[in-house]
Structure 1
């Protein structure tokens, strides 16, 4: 990296990267841990984390400490204090790079894969057949197992309903000139949409653990789907080294035992989740 403040920063040189890696390894050896070990803060002496062991960070003029916030070109700034135990292996970032001319649905399909759609179809079909078998008088309409393309169309209409809001579901198939939205009837018939909505399922309800069971989970009905979606996200992105954990509120005001109210948040009612954020 050039020492002149007039030149644009073009990145760290290989020598600087190698020097930082050497400082990292030296720091690991200094506090007596291996490359993949976890630091036991309770057993480390205060001297191991004292300012004497941290590299001095100076500004470009070289006569005073750098500011404690903001971006810094000095690589040493990011090497202060404890070593970074997490070091990603290989390339970081998206594992699949699509062409610029791809549509939003192509990016969505990277995460919401055909395997997930097949799983939803499997559990929906299982539940539909059970309902028809157990309650034939209430389920007289013939049931046909949805295809992957049909399930995509169904989910697409669900998303579209969140954008084009109407007073009730049947209004989307209304032929009234004041209410009609022809796109819905072109994609799927109303009765078919209502039938899939009636049976849509994300788990095997016959195997659901009951309260008191060690395996009981309030998220059982969506847990498998949630885990599959999480695996897709893990497979599609390798995070960099700088990570933080933050809470996220998913808006929800319906009936739910673990719904939370957080008056200081912009979204006050909802489901609190934890997310890993990369910089």
Structure 2
């Protein structure tokens, strides 16, 4: 009795392949088309383990600490020449670290980090409460005496933080782009005074 012969099942041909390639793939290794991405990457560092602080400085740069220290000291002198704050760069770096750490907790006031009942050792042992509040009081990015009038055509709404924004933007541009990128946004609730504040009534955070 002769064996029955069945018609060959049609094979779908993906984009970028020929029928010959598809037929041969049944018996050979699968052929994967080359990616169109032609970017280049620097070789990975050898025997270097990055700490969290290294990633922070890769974005904000150590020059941001210098900028904040100089401008905050200047503002303290402008405010009270007889009692300057004399903030060091080490203290400014510690102050920024405390701000980052404080974002983990949901205390209604930053003073809770130093209270006996709610003390957070990693914060309270880094800087005293009074010193933290003093640095926060004088924290500045620019010299207020150089601010343009609001009616000036060159007036910058982000004048108060423009130098810091420029540092961050320049450092972000140094990051090598990969083939696949994901861009997202996040709404930050804010009820302070700012000309750039927006009211969006249909969002979970309206301000």
TM-score (norm 1): 0.55
Give the match for residue 21 of structure 1.
Answer: none
Query: Does the CA-based 8 Å contact 2:148-2:155 persist in structure 1?
Result: yes
Rg larger for: 2
Q: Give unpaired runs (5+ residues) of structure 2.
A: 1-13, 21-30
- Which contiguous aligned blocks of 4+ residues in structure 1 show a shift greater than 6 angstroms? 241-244
Matches within 5 A, 1:235-250: 235=174, 237-240=175-178, 248-250=185-187
Instruction: Indicate whether 1:205 and 2:144 are aligned.
Output: yes
Q: Give unpaired runs (5+ residues) of structure 1.
A: 1-56, 64-71, 80-86, 137-141, 271-279
Instruction: Indicate whether 1:169 and 2:110 are aligned.
Output: yes
**In 2 relative to 1, CA 150–97 (structure 1 residues): closer, same or farther, beyond 3 Å?**
farther
Matches within 5 A, 1:30-179: 58-60=15-17, 62=19, 73-75=32-34, 91-92=40-41, 97=45, 101-133=49-81, 142-175=83-116, 178-179=117-118
State the alpha-carbon separation in 2 of the partners of residues 156 and 73 from structure 1. 47
State the alpha-carbon separation in 2 of the partners of residues 248 and 130 from structure 1. 38
Query: Does the CA-based 8 Å contact 1:202-1:221 persist in structure 2?
Result: yes
RMSD of equivalent CA atoms: 3.3
Structure number with higher strand proportion = 1
Query: Does the CA-based 8 Å contact 2:189-2:205 persist in structure 1?
Result: no
State the alpha-carbon separation in 2 of the partners of residues 112 and 193 from structure 1. 21
| Aligned residue pairs, count | 183
Decide which of 224, 232, 254 is 2:163's aligned counterpart.
Answer: 224
State the alpha-carbon separation in 1 of the partners of residues 46 and 115 from structure 2. 38
Instruction: Indicate whether 1:182 and 2:182 are aligned.
Output: no
State the alpha-carbon separation in 1 of the partners of residues 160 and 67 from structure 2. 13
The answer to which structure, 1 or 2, has the higher relative contact order (CA under 8 A, 6+ apart) is 2
State the alpha-carbon separation in 2 of the partners of residues 96 and 147 from structure 1. 34
Residue deviations 1:105-126, cap 9 Å, x none? 1211222222111011111111
